[in-house]
Structures are given as structure tokens and as C-alpha cells.
Amino acid sequence: MEYKNILVNALVNLGDVILVTSALDLIKKNFPDTKITMLVKPVVKDAVINNPVVDDVIIFDYKPKVSTFTQMRAMISELRRRKFDLSISFDRKLRPALLTFMAGIKKRVGPSKVFDDNKSRVTILYTDVIKISHDLNETLQAETYQEIVRKFFKIEGHGFPQFPNTFSTKAKELLSYFAPEKLKIALCVKGTFPLKTWSKKYFAEVVNKLSGMYDAEFFIVGAPNDKDYADEVIAEMNADVKNFCGETSLTDLAEIFRRTDLFITVDTGSAHIAATTGVKMITIFGCTPINRWRPINQNAISLTSNEPCCPCKIRPEDCPSFPNPNCLYHVTPAEVIDAAVKQLQATSYKLQATKER
């Protein structure tokens, strides 16, 4: 049976939403006439509106673990009205599983596992449970999402994460601060929790070294609540570094990456946005598994110290080496500088080296 009107449940964070689009890319390659609607949280809407593999978007604004009967009833009515013939869950969450069950969507598909190996009673609300048998931490998360699609539709092949290619006047405005002949090096210095956040002093050492080697401009990107932290990092640096945290939408950010020569980042959602643009990038991993979360970009270098205790999900204060966790502090500035030099060699026509290493 060929499905014409598919609902995709992805009430997850930014990075996962972008990786889910690789599975939608695979669906579109095999069934180009299928309409795909994504159910997402408000904070990620810019990643899916005007996305080439998403035809429509439903935004569901709710608070986790809070019962909102009126809101749920309204969403059930909306799903019924749209007459979906298939629902695919990429989050295995209870709320969307209940919504699709109560909306009467006849075919409801979800994975046996997706974020961890734990069993879940949520799967009883699916009509089809897709068995995921591979090691999650040794498999790209995008491939886990695609495996759900491959097994259900009985298709082969691979898709790639997709992002809207929308012109951004804001990106042009921000980059106008810089001389066009200079290299542009972007940084993302703060992760979503401490075991993803590389040392301020390490970032400063990298920027200070690269600013002495190349005729380059530096700037930091991030969310509004990263701005103060970014200022603290900049205070450690000798170079002139702009702070763009909170000044860009997700599509602005993508356009900035398309115009950037190098992006140095911790493991965060912006790394997956950057990967879709093909920008040369370096991603620094801490406690999270690199084989699972590395950016899908042939121009990406991912660095990890491969600590025996990683990956882990412990609270930062329970880490034996906290507040200087080995997983982050054993990735050295020298490694990042070497990776940056390797990446920038490919743009040697723009380089203006001022010193020998």
C-alpha cells in the first residue's frame, strides 16, 4: 500500500529534528508524491517550515509532564480533520502516541528503541513496531531514523538531513561587519549542559593562535541565553571577537554558515544545521558518543578523547573529574588548531598567513 498523507511525530530537540529529515528525504526519494506533515515543538519550527522534504507543519506547544486536556482535545480534532493515513513516530513519546491513537489514524508506526535500549509501554499504541537491532551508540542517529523508514516501507538506500535554503538579510547584515577579503571563522562555545561545553581557556587559546596565523575575523553564534557566557569566553581572548548569540533565527544561522570559511563548535544543534550547508567544521565531543552524533558532512572533522567512561549520562557534578571532565579537557587546543589548519588549507587562495606555526 502506498501512503499519501503521512504525519511525522518529532517532538524532539533541534539536532534530532534535523536528523529526522534524512528519513523524510528517503521517503521522498521513493514516494515523491507523498505529503509529509511534521508535528514539532515551536522552538524548532524554522528548521522545518519551507524544508524541501516537509510539505506542512503542525506546531504543538505544550509543557512536558503537564496534563492539558483542552489542548490535547483540540490537537486530536486537528489530526482527525487532516485525515492522515499513516503516522510515524521518531520520538517514541507518550503524548504524540496517544494523540495519533485517539485521532483514529489507522496505521501508527514506531521503533522498538530510538534514544536508549529501554523497553517502553508506549509501543502498545503503535500498530507496527519496527525492530531496531543495531547498537545505537555505534550507529549514526540519522541511520536509526532511516532504518524505521527502510523496514516499514521495505525500501533501501540512504537519505541526508535537509534544511530550508532561505535567503537571510540578517545574515548579510551581520557579516557586513567584516572585510570581505578576510577569512570568517564562526564559533559555538556552549553546549546544552556542562559535559558538552569545552573550556573557555581552550577556546581562547585556539582563537589567539589562529588570529596570529591568519588574517581572519571571528564571531560566536548561539541562543539568546548563551550571550553572557559567550562574553565571558571573549574576555579570555586577545582577538576581536563578535558576539552574535541571540541575534539569528535558525535560517539566519544556516545562511551565515554558507558564507563562513570554518566553524568550530561543541556538540549541539547548530552543528547539525551547519552540516547541511557543507561548511568546513570541527566538532568537539565530550560525554556523547561521536559515532552516533557526529555531523553528517564530508567537510567535518570530529574530535573526541575516547575516554573509557564514555558515553555517559551522569549528572555533571557526579563526574569523577568534574569540574574539568576528562572527556572534554583531554581534547586539547593543539588538536583543534591542527584540525583548523587542515581545514583552512583547502581555502588557501584566501589565506594570508602572518606567522609560521
The closest of 115, 118, 129 to 16, measured between CA atoms, is: 115
77 by Cβ neighbours in 10 Å (0-12 / 13-18 / 19+) ranks as exposed
Report the predicted TM-score, pTM, of the whole model to 2 decimal places: 0.93
Asked whether the beta carbons of 281 and 275 are under 8 A apart, the reply is yes
Percent of the chain with pLDDT over 70: 96
- pLDDT average, residue stretch 84-92: 96
Neighbours of 225 (CB within 10 A): 10
Q: What is the pLDDT of residues 189-246, one digit of tens each?
A: 999 999 999 999 999 999 999 999 999 999 999 999 999 999 999 999 999 999 999 9
- All structural domains of the chain, each given as residue ranges with its CATH number in brackets, are 5-153 (3.40.50.2000), 169-345 (3.40.50.2000)
Sorting pLDDT into bands at 50, 70 and 90, what band is 65?
low
User: What's the mean pLDDT when you consider all of the chain?
Assistant: 94
- pLDDT average, residue stretch 67-90: 92
Percent of the chain with pLDDT over 90: 90
DSSP string, 18-66: HHHHHHHHHHHHH-TT-EEEEEE-GGGHHHHTT-TT-SEEEE----TT-
DSSP string, 259-283: T-SEEEEESSHHHHHHHHHT--EEE
pLDDT at 88: 98
Indicate if the pLDDT at residue 355 is higher than 50. no
Q: What is the pLDDT of residues 119-171, one digit of tens each?
A: 899 999 999 999 999 999 999 999 999 999 999 999 999 999 999 998 889 99
